[in-house]
Structure 1
Amino acid sequence: MISKIICFLVLFLFQTGWSQHGERTILKGRIISNTNDLEGVYVINAQTEAMVNTTTDGYFSIMAKSGDTLIFSSIQFKENRVLLTPENFSDLNFTVKLNLLIHQLQEVIIKRYDNINSVALGIVPSGQKSYTPAERKLQTATALNPTANAGTMAGGSISADPIFNFFSGRTAMLKKEVAVEKKEFFIRLLENMFTLDHFVDRLKIPVEYVKGFEYYVVENESFTKILNSKNKTSTEFLLGELAVKYKEIIACEAK
Structure 2
Amino acid sequence: MNKIFPLILLVISVTSYAQNTKVLKGKVMAATTELDGIHVINKRTEKAVVTEKGGFFSIMAQPNDTLIFSAVQFKGRQIRLEEKDFNEELFYVKLDVMIRQLKEVVINEYGNINSESLGLVPRGQKKYTPAERKLKTATGTDAQIGTNTVVGLDPLLNWFSGRTSMLKKEVEIEKKELFRQKLEGMYDEEYFVNTLKIPQEYVQGFIFYAVENERFTAAIKAKNKTLATFYLNELAVQYRKIITDEK
TM-score bin, normalised by smaller chain = 0.3 to 0.5
| Structure with the larger RCO, 1 or 2 (CA within 8 Å, 6+ apart) | 2
Could you tell me the TM-score, scaled by structure 2's length? 0.39
Larger Rg: 1
Q: When you count strand as a share of all residues, which structure comes out higher?
A: 2
